[in-house]
Structure 1
Amino acid sequence: MDVAGIRGTAEPHGDSRTKLSADYEAFLQLLTAQVANQDPLAPMDSSTYVTQLAQLSQVEQAVQTNERLSEISSRLAVAGSYAEVGLIGREVDLSLEAFAPRPDGTPIGIRFDAAVPAHTIRLIDPDGLVVRELPGGAAMADEWSEVEWDGLDAQGAPAGEGPFILEVVASDAAGAAVPYSTRLRATVEGVVIGPQGTRLVLDTGEEVGPGDVLRIG
């Protein structure tokens, strides 16, 4: 399996694990000091000593359990990330509203909740300006249609690197606004493993989560 596209970053230890280990060390030091400095004429009651030893054992078990859970969690994360390696080189449809244009054109898919006689796609730059409007025709309900944006603005010049926000204007026959879903197609070029989980690196330079993938081409 090709793992050349995988990158990883170090994951810091959790605050809870550090605090639990510190509590364990402090408890052990206090118990040792108490035993070493007890009055020989009035030694510690045996039942109290047994109780404190039991508490020490419980804290130790909690530390070990926390470490094992952390190790299991790390291994599961890595195993899941290796599963995503199979997406490298594959085309995927993504549920995204903000995106960077591709040099060879950006395929944009749209699906309406109801039939529309016509619609318009607006591409909005980071400053909130509409750089391009793409007219669309009639569309049936719950069916995906696709239009490709060439990355140019209304004057035919490059619109820039973005990211651009996708907005669709559509009304039904009665003039009411129709809800819609959008998807963008991209190619997965790599996988990043980090503290926030697995991220897919796209050919657009963007990073998205596996949950953003709607369909694998």
Structure 2
Amino acid sequence: MTEISQTTAATTTSAAKTTTSPTTASALSSDFETFLKMLTAQMKNQDPLNPIESTDYAVQLATFSSVEQQVQTNTLISALSEQLGVIGMSQTASWVGKEVKSEAPAYFDGNPVSLSVTPDSSADASYLLVRNSEGTEVQRVEIDPKETDITWSGMDKDGYPFSNGRYSFAIESHSNGSFLSSSAALTYSEVTEARRDGGDITLILNGGGEISADDVLSLREAR
């Protein structure tokens, strides 16, 4: 792993049950009893000269049965979704204290920042661009275009550390003096908290940054 500093710069919950809930079962039972009462009343008050066909009763029963099954299915799906959410939260909680790799800005507290970079394969020169929390470029450092893992020391050209705060990083690739491409440098940040926001899981990073668990590209032990 190469350490980068300005001296090398070219320029400056419990699981949900999967059975139908008592409330839902009671509601279905009540609805079915009401349906039977209505069906009985319909039979008693039908026109004897024009009685309802038995097939019509069968259709009504089949329709009610279909609706009943659909309600039960929806309840089971909802319960399963909640259970999977609890399982996901339980697993993600184990990430606390570990480092995750993502495109999120990293918090600099005086310690070097680990980065994962992918310069253009045809580049003969690459530069690490460092921006502060306001998006202002504060440093541009030349790196080996063949490197994939580097460390930003957080030092300026005079050897003094930058202020504590969140910094984002990008890689510029050049060939024969011409610009090729720019890509985000991935950062490693320690997870301090895992929080569930509705159906999503949010990770709180060292320094207060937040990312979705879906944005995590890899996980490793804190260094």
- Band of TM-score, shorter chain: 0.5 to 0.7
Question: Among residues 74, 79, 82, which one is paired with 2:87 in the alignment?
Answer: 79
Match of 2:47 in 1: 41
Match of 2:102 in 1: 95
Match of 1:136 in 2: 142
Give the Cα separation in 1 of the matches to 2:85 and 2:127: 42
Please report how far the alpha carbon of residue 74 of structure 1 lies from its aligned counterpart in structure 2 after TM superposition.
1.4
Please report how far the alpha carbon of residue 202 of structure 1 lies from its aligned counterpart in structure 2 after TM superposition.
1.6
Match of 1:150 in 2: 154
Judging changes above 3 Å, is the alpha-carbon distance between structure 1 residues 129 and 195 closer, same or farther for their aligned structure 2 residues? same
What is the correspondence of 1:134-213 to structure 2 with a 5 Å cutoff? Answer: 134-140=140-146, 143-148=147-152, 150=154, 161=165, 165-173=168-176, 175-178=178-181, 180=183, 182-213=185-216
* Identity across matched positions, percent: 22
Give the number of equivalent residue pairs: 188
TM-score normalised over the length of structure 1? 0.67
The answer for unaligned runs of 5 or more in structure 2 is: 1-12, 14-29
Give the Cα separation in 1 of the matches to 2:168 and 2:58: 66
Give the Cα separation in 2 of the matches to 1:151 and 1:47: 85
Question: Among residues 85, 105, 117, which one is paired with 1:110 in the alignment?
Answer: 117
The answer for unaligned runs of 5 or more in structure 1 is: 1-7, 9-24
Question: Among residues 69, 77, 85, which one is paired with 2:77 in the alignment?
Answer: 69
Question: Which amino acid is 1:68 matched to?
Answer: L
Q: Contact (CA 8 Å) 2:194, 2:202: kept in 1 or not? A: yes
Q: Secondary structure at the match of 2:47?
A: coil
Please report how far the alpha carbon of residue 191 of structure 1 lies from its aligned counterpart in structure 2 after TM superposition.
1.7
Question: Which amino acid is 1:118 matched to?
Answer: A
Give the Cα separation in 1 of the matches to 2:98 and 2:74: 38
- Which structure has the greater CA radius of gyration? 2
Match of 1:14 in 2: none
Please report how far the alpha carbon of residue 129 of structure 1 lies from its aligned counterpart in structure 2 after TM superposition.
3.3
Judging changes above 3 Å, is the alpha-carbon distance between structure 1 residues 28 and 111 closer, same or farther for their aligned structure 2 residues? farther
Q: Secondary structure at the match of 2:55?
A: helix
Question: Which amino acid is 1:36 matched to?
Answer: A
Please report how far the alpha carbon of residue 180 of structure 1 lies from its aligned counterpart in structure 2 after TM superposition.
4.3
Q: Contact (CA 8 Å) 1:118, 1:139: kept in 2 or not? A: yes
Q: Contact (CA 8 Å) 1:103, 1:151: kept in 2 or not? A: no
TM-score normalised over the length of structure 2? 0.65
Q: Secondary structure at the match of 2:217?
A: strand
Give the Cα separation in 2 of the matches to 1:30 and 1:199: 46
Q: Secondary structure at the match of 1:112?
A: coil
Please report how far the alpha carbon of residue 45 of structure 1 lies from its aligned counterpart in structure 2 after TM superposition.
2.9
Q: Secondary structure at the match of 1:87?
A: coil
Give CA-to-partner distance per residue, 1:147-188, whole Å, 9 cap, x none. Answer: 325398x9x7966855x5433222024635145452101112
Match of 2:68 in 1: 60
Asked if 1:121 is matched to 2:124, the reply is no
Q: Contact (CA 8 Å) 1:120, 1:133: kept in 2 or not? A: no
Please report how far the alpha carbon of residue 135 of structure 1 lies from its aligned counterpart in structure 2 after TM superposition.
0.9
